[in-house]
Structure 1
Amino acid sequence: MLLGGPPGIGKSHWARKFGDLLTAPVMVLEVGSEAASFGLVGSQRGWSGAEPGRLIRTILRTAVANPIVVVDEIEKAGAPTTTKGHAFGLTEATLPLLEPLSARRWSCPYYQVEFDMRWIGWIFTANTAAILSEPFRSRCPPIRLRHLTCVELGDFVRREGARRELSETAIEIIAEVLAHPSLWGHRPSLRIAGRMLQRAADLEKGPLLR
């Protein structure tokens, strides 16, 4: 599945939690720090630093053929190229893995052996799914998510604040600030709410400075 929606609404957290609830091995690929295909599928022997990709390593290490692979912010992958102009884009590398017919006989660049990769569960997240290629979106149609409402954000603050054992005063102040009309144009997110809750926890539970 491809979760497309604004940043800070919990896409990445949900994807990781989904894998944990299935009690399946979860492999997370942060595209912001690893945009080329090498990290996922590996590289051919003979290249400097050649090694199998994290996908194969996860399957061999866990002895589980159907791990959950979370690819975070796939729209940031772009199309990395070598000095000779060879492209190693991450989205292009995943296309044969998302197609059942080609995934059934996927050839590992490093081991040069065919693997049946049909059983892998893929969860992609994207802040802007529209910029992804049509072949990719045809294999993985985006599930379009929206911004949180003020009510939903307030409910989250109250649940998370109670879990962190914050005072009711601190919880209500945070909920009131996030619901203030002056912030409506800025679309407060779960990420901002989480930072405010952490700051409140630090202030309430930290040592008093004299």
Structure 2
Amino acid sequence: MTQSQSKIPFHDLTFYDDLPKLRDVEARLKTFLKATRERAQRIAIEAGRMADEDRVYSYDIVNDADMRRIKIRSVRYLERLHSSTGMYHLAEENRVRLTPIKGGLPVARIATELEADEIAVALHAEMPWMAPATEAVWHGLRASAREGLPGLRFSPLVLVGSPGIGKSFWARRLAHYLSVPTTMIDATGEPATFAIVGSQRGWSSATPGKLMQTVLKERHGGPLVIVDEVEKSGDIHSSRGTRHSLTDALLPLLERMTAATWECPFFQIKCDMSWVNWVMTANSRRGLPEPVQSRCLVLDLADLTTDQLRHFAQTEGARRCLPDPAIAALMDVLDCLAIKNSGLSLRTVSRTLDRAQTLVCKPILN
């Protein structure tokens, strides 16, 4: 739904393509030396300090010894330029991988407060039981428009609630309305610390984190990062006894000031990650690190009612363009499951919708 974009610098690197070539530096120094000596000769002749027949012609005024000195000086100059690019430590392969961020990256922005209102209304219409989360984002979007920020921002969120109430689904729908890319991280199924920020070169499995991978792949400086079940992430200990925790990885990224100069462990370059937005989910507050809670807006969400599930099924069914008979049949199934007290959840309804959509699109056999 968000249509406006602006570009942020994102980095302070100088790409090698923007640096002069050795032959160009040599040619520039040769031209300068030649012009300097010719001018000095002309002044000396005019002042009577040199006879005209002693003039050295232009094709001989810069000799081979001069060219050797020019080459040495050109190489030293380029070495200093290369060392100041911020990419001198990278192999050519990794410099190529960073090409998408050359010239800066776009971020989505909210042009007017009315646009923020429209996004909040659309999101609330789909999932009204997520009103506390929608309201928190709504205030952040309105503030972004009111302050004329180049991108959109809202406070990092931790959505606490029972499994199956649609926390992750709500985050994906939010990304849809904001028109920003997303990256999903399961804090229980993978080393979340390395999944988010990556690992330093030198490890056998060194790789950029999903955050940096998303930025490079999508060529976007403000993705939405969704971290599922953040309270269940454990610490990782290396063979040398070093501890790596999700909290250590998250804290610099959750603070806007430190995120603006965040250093990627893999590429070892500084990037502006201050326009990245965060939605984390948890089944309970137990296990949530205090430093994370102090930097996020933690929202306790209620369990879903049968009516809310029916509302979601009708809204989502209409969004998927299911015919009315299919939606009516789906309502009957939900009523039967509710009577049997079968532990209805948003996941159950989503699977039922998937099945209904498959049956509707299934070709009729003769």
Q: Give the equivalent residue in structure 2 for 1:137.
A: 293
- Alignment pair present for 1:109 and 2:273: no
Cα distance change of structure 1 residues 63 and 168 upon mapping to structure 2, 3 Å threshold: closer
Q: Which structure 2 residues correspond to residues 87-106 of structure 1 after superposition, within 5 A?
A: 87-106=243-262
What number of residue pairs does the alignment pair up? 206
**Alignment partners' CA distance in 1, 2:200 and 2:317:** 50
Contact preservation (8 Å) 2:322, 2:360: no
Q: Residue 81 of structure 1 aligns with which residue?
A: 237
TM-aligned CA distance change 1:114 to 1:156, over 3 Å? closer
Q: How much has 1:171 moved relative to structure 2? A: 2.6
Inter-CA distance 169–139: structure 2 relative to 1 (3 Å threshold): closer
Superposition pairs for residues 1-210 of structure 1, below 5 Å?
1-161=157-317, 163-165=321-323, 166-167=325-326, 170-180=329-339, 182-183=340-341, 187-199=343-355
Q: Which has the higher helix share?
A: 2
Question: Please, which moves more after superposition, 73-82 or 92-101?
Answer: 73-82
Displacement of 1:129 after TM fit? 3.1
Deviates more, 1:7-16 or 1:189-198: 189-198
Any idea what SS the aligned residue of 1:125 has? strand
Bigger drift between 2-11 and 122-131 goes to: 122-131
Residues 52-82 of structure 1: CA distance to partner in whole angstroms, max 9, x if unpaired?
2221222233332211111122122111222
Deviation at 1:20, TM superposition (A): 1.7
Q: What's the offset of the Cα at 1:187?
A: 4.5
Q: What's the CA shift for 1:83?
A: 3.2
Letter in 2 for 1:41: V
Task: Decide whether the 8 Å contact of 2:326 with 2:356 is kept in 1.
Answer: no
Conservation of the 8 A alpha-carbon contact between 1:77 and 1:91: no
Supply the RMSD in Å over aligned alpha carbons: 2.5
Higher RCO (C-alpha under 8 Å, 6+ residues apart): 1
The answer (yes or no) to whether the contact 2:262–2:272 under 8 Å persists in 1 is: yes
Distance in 2 (alpha carbons) for counterparts of 1:195 and 1:131: 30
Letter in 2 for 1:77: S
Contact 1:35 1:76 survives alignment (8 Å): no
Give the conservation status (yes or no) of the 8 Å contact 1:147–1:187: no
State the one-letter code of the partner of 2:230.
Answer: I
Tell which deviates more after alignment, 162-171 or 127-136.
162-171
Unaligned runs of 5+ in 1: none
TM-score between both structures, scaled by the size of structure 1: 0.84
What's the CA shift for 1:201?
Answer: 5.9
Hey, what's the Cα distance between the residues in 2 that align with 1:102 and 1:172? 49
- 2:232–2:287: 8 Å Cα contact kept in structure 1? no
- Contact residue 200 and residue 206 of structure 2 kept, 8 A: yes
Structure 1: how far apart are the matches of 2:172 and 2:212? 19
Q: Residues 39-60 of structure 1, C-alpha deviation per residue, up to 9 Å, x if partnerless? A: 2111112221212222122223
Q: Rg: which structure is higher?
A: 2
**Structure 2 CA distance for aligned equivalents of residues 26 and 148 of structure 1:** 25
| Residue 98 of structure 1: how far off its partner (Å) | 0.6
